Structure 1
Amino acid sequence: MIRHLLLITTLSLTISIVSAKAPKLGQFKPLESFDQGQKFKLLCYLLEGSKPIIFTWQKNNQILSSSSSTSIPSDSEQRYRIDYRNDDESYLTIQKLSIADAANYSCLARNRFGSSKQSIRLSVKGIALI
């Protein structure tokens, strides 16, 4: 008697398809004019994009901060606070607005596949002190 031994081997293969997407930011809500002394907060959020994402905030095209920085640069009064949450949103907060804060503010999100930028003009009402 010849016995045949049948060995069945099961091979399992899992394929993950990762889509490579450049960031796409949500639009800023339209702003009205703010008064001096008011608190101002602006949200920059990611609609889509492959992570990791690096957020950069700008005032009149000058960098305020980047999420790739180990610390958040700010002026001596710490006028600007920048928070990063959930890897897909960032907040810019100005604790107490002054006329000097009237400017164009931008949030730039970038990854290795591209970038997205949203900008808005902040108007501050009040009397400029000389």
Structure 2
Amino acid sequence: MSDPTSQAKITIYTGELADVVASPVDRTVLETDPVPGLRGHSVPTPHSSFFVDRSDEAAHYRMGLTAGLPVSPDGEVQNGPIMLGDRVLTADVVFPDPPFANDEEAKAWYWGAEGQALKAVLMSLSYR
């Protein structure tokens, strides 16, 4: 999905192959909600999540689908694709780097028109 200037806003991938690269981070979850159309099709339930990972003094903001909560109840950072049968699904908002000066600016963007429009796209995804 892109805006009128052809700048990518969301990348969505579904297929049979996926890979995850993870490293130690301190993750702050700004917002997360289960995606109704994916509930019951994958364990754990996919969420539309907005969070910031901090490592080596750098902040990396991410918004997209997560396989369950972005941080488990025991505090572990969750990474990985969403499994739907024999397929995988990923969806991530594309941000310029760096997108926000701080968490307050990120939250203001998220609750504004663009953030809520992109969240609506993520929340509309379903599996049949």
- TM bucket by the smaller chain? under 0.3
Larger relative contact order, structure 1 or 2 (CA cutoff 8 Å, min sep 6):
1
Higher helix share: 2
Higher strand share: 1
The alignment's TM-score, normalised by the length of structure 1, stands at 0.27
Higher CA-based Rg: 1
The alignment's TM-score, normalised by the length of structure 2, stands at 0.27
